[in-house]
Amino acid sequence: MIERLENQLEKEARDLRVLTAVIEHQPVGIVRLSSITELEEHKVRYSLRMLENDGLIDPTPNGAVVADDVEERIETLNEGIDDLIEHVETIREFA
């Protein structure tokens, strides 16, 4: 169970790493993101797909750009992370 959670957290961390690179270098394509983040292209492509599904980025002919409301969405994301931390701390109390 812990290994599955660790794997999911690694994927989420990778997505955030790609999102940060898009914010800093937009518009940016897969090859450049791979170079910037030092991630394999297929992992960047997957992260971009997830970020697009989450409404955080938009694809353009020139590469990925952040969505218009990305700041609002990041704030919501941070609140969700805070909630998760509280849940983990609660679970830890029972362990």
The string of pLDDT tens digits covering residues 9-26 is 999 999 999 999 999 999
pTM of the model: 0.85
3-state secondary structure 27-83: CECHHHHHHHHCCCHHHHHHHHHHHHHCCCEEEECCEEEECCCHHHHHHHHHHHHHH
Q: Has residue 83 been placed in a domain?
A: no
Domain span at residue 12 reads: 2-67
Q: Has residue 75 been placed in a domain?
A: no
User: Cα(87)–Cα(51) distance, rounded to whole angstroms?
Assistant: 24
Q: Has residue 63 been placed in a domain?
A: yes
Report the CATH number that the domain containing residue 32 is assigned in CATH.
1.10.10.10
pLDDT band at 92 (very low <50, low <70, confident <90, very high): confident
Helix (H, G, I), strand (E, B) or coil at 26: coil
The number of distinct structural domains making up the chain is: 1
User: Cα(88)–Cα(29) distance, rounded to whole angstroms?
Assistant: 36
Q: Has residue 26 been placed in a domain?
A: yes
Q: Has residue 43 been placed in a domain?
A: yes
Q: Has residue 93 been placed in a domain?
A: no
The string of pLDDT tens digits covering residues 29-56 is 999 999 999 999 999 999 999 999 999 9
